[in-house]
Amino acid sequence: MPRPETPLLTVDVIIELLERPGEVVFIERRNEPLGLALPGGFVDRGETVTAAAVREAREETGLDVTLEGMLGVYSDPGRDPRGHTASIVFVGRASGEPRAGDDAGGVRVMPPDKAQELVFDHARIIEDYLSTGEVRFEPPFVR
Amino acid sequence: MPRPETPLLTVDVIIELLERPGEVVFIERRNEPLGLALPGGFVDRGETVTAAAVREAREETGLDVTLEGMLGVYSDPGRDPRGHTASIVFVGRASGEPRAGDDAGGVRVMPPDKAQELVFDHARIIEDYLSTGEVRFEPPFVR
């Protein structure tokens, strides 16, 4: 089978901190586009989307995240100016103090409705997150 | 940014026919792996996952599908023996008689629990489908 070209697959995680209810973790991007973003990144071949979400959260924030559910799938071709990506967005919980990983200039913990300069479509994702109290796994199933 | 390699992004659709309640549409695969499969295929770059689902359903079955909700995300690296794909699986409804498209050897309409020789992880997808009466869009969001 010729290898087709599809959107690249990414994950993002809205991380709720047990010690700071009502706040979530953002990273300050070190590369263009500059601004605040949810922790996340590309899914590796051979990796499930949930494994990728836990790995990216750890790499970018140092936190061990327990995923609570899937917020949604974001696949608008214009969501990332660098090329078409489709992101599976999760909500997870963690305990402890986040620290910036290699890819992040810094981490910020704040109420999500106070986050300015969100890059990509992360403002839309936060809007969706704030509009719902229901995020869970079954259904939708994540296998 | 160097272009990373991620799982390829696909969609599949469980199509319920208004005229045949309790039955869904399968295609008889013309290529390996042979067997029955849900209609679906690769998402094109520049295309949303919902647009891809409607397009693939039309190409493979001739049906105009209205998507009702997302069943889940299936990303196990072993789900397709030809390479790692991650599939966004939808449930949709259509009216009329399906007809096999170019990629299909034929179409079959039957109660999903009667489908034999399902390829990929489609038996698991059908099991999930049969286990839930709740398939909807918000949440999870599909953008």
- Report how far residue A100's alpha carbon sits from residue A93's, in angstroms, rounded to the nearest whole number: 17
CATH superfamily of B9-131: Nucleoside Triphosphate Pyrophosphohydrolase (3.90.79.10)
> What is the per-residue pLDDT across B58-116, written as a single tens digit (0 to 9) for each?
999 999 999 999 999 999 999 999 999 999 999 999 999 999 987 768 999 999 999 98
Count of beta carbons in the 10 Å neighbourhood of residue A79: 21
d(C-alpha B42, C-alpha A86), whole Å: 13
Q: Do B1 and A82 touch (CB under 8 A)?
A: yes
What is the per-residue pLDDT across A6-44, written as a single tens digit (0 to 9) for each? Answer: 999 999 999 999 999 999 999 999 888 999 999 999 999
Q: Would the CB atoms of B143 and A45 count as touching at under 8 Å? A: no
The pLDDT score that the predictor gives to residue A1 is 53
**B68–chain A nearest CA distance, Å:** 13
Tell me: the pLDDT tens digits for B10-69?
Answer: 999 999 999 999 999 999 998 889 999 999 999 999 999 999 999 999 999 999 999 999
Across the interface, of A48, A49, A75, the residue whose CB is closest to B48 is A75
ipTM of the complex: 0.94
Position A3 pLDDT exceeds 80: no
Contact assignment for A73 to B8 by CB distance below 8 Å:
no
Q: Do B143 and A124 touch (CB under 8 A)?
A: yes
Q: Three-class SS of residue A2?
A: coil
Quote the pLDDT of residue A136: 78
Return the minimum-mean-pLDDT range out of A47-56, A64-73, A95-104. A95-104
Residues of chain A in contact with residue B135, where contact means CB-CB under 8 angstroms, are: 139
* CA-wise closest residue to B57 among B82, B89, B22: B89
Integer CA distances (angstroms), A10 to A45, A85, A97, B65, B96, in order: 11, 7, 25, 27, 37
* Domain spans in chain B, listed from the N-terminal domain onward: 9-131
- What per-residue confidence (pLDDT) applies to B127? 96
Place of tokens 């849900």: B38
Q: Tokens 């997808």, residue? A: B125
| Unique residue bearing structure tokens 């999760």 | A90
Closest CA to B73 of B125, B139, B5: B125
Q: How confident is the model at residue A73 (pLDDT cuts 50, 70, 90)?
A: very high
Strand partners, A104: A29
pLDDT number for residue B101: 87
Q: Which two tokens stand for residue B99?
A: 């007809």
- Interface touch A134/B135, C-beta < 8 Å: no
> In A, which residues are within 8 Å of B42 by CB distance?
4, 6
Give the pair of three-digit tokens for residue B33.
Answer: 């792996």
- Residues in chain A with CB shorter than 8 Å from the CB of B46 are 77, 84
Closest CA to B4 of A43, A1, A104: A43
Contact call for residues B108 and B100 (beta carbons, < 8 A): no
**For chains A and B, what is the number of CB pairs under 8 angstroms?**
134
- Per-residue pLDDT band for A79 (boundaries 50, 70, 90) equals very high
Instruction: Please check whether residue B38 is in contact with residue B108, taking contact to mean a CB–CB distance below 8 angstroms.
Output: no
Asked whether residue B2 carries a pLDDT value surpassing 70, the answer given is no
Give the nearest chain B residue to A128 (CA atoms). B141
Place of tokens 């300069």: A117
Six-digit token string for B37: 């499969």
3-class DSSP state of B24? strand
- Region A102-121: what's the mean pLDDT? 91
φ/ψ region of B46 (left if φ > 0, alpha if ψ in -120 to 50, else beta) reads: left
